[in-house]
Amino acid sequence: YSGLPIASATVVVTDSAGHTWTVTADANGVYDVTGTASDPLVAGAATIESYHEGYSVAIVTPVLNAGNNTQDV
């Protein structure tokens, strides 16, 4: 584990209600997930998985709060 950002990693976020979003990290390894009225991002326990060829899968299980959250994977 290098702790460095991984450009173009696939990030899968699953919230406490089972809603799932799949996004791709940008060139700096940054990703953004935004809920919508019909598919809200629910506060509570979540699972965030990050994948990229040549790297081990990273999984974290943060607790999301209402509003903005920051989570390194």
- Read off the pLDDT of residues 8-20 as tens digits, 9 standing for 90 and up: 999 999 999 999 9
Query: Is the distance from CB of 35 to CB of 19 less than 8 angstroms?
Result: yes
Question: Which of the pair, 37 or 23, is modelled with greater confidence?
Answer: 23
State the chain's mean pLDDT as an integer: 90
pTM: 0.87
> Could you tell me whether strands 58-60 and 63-64 are parallel, antiparallel, or unpaired per DSSP bridges?
unpaired
State residue 2's pLDDT score.
67
Structure confidence at residue 65 as a pLDDT band (50, 70, 90): confident
Question: Which of the pair, 66 or 6, is modelled with greater confidence?
Answer: 6
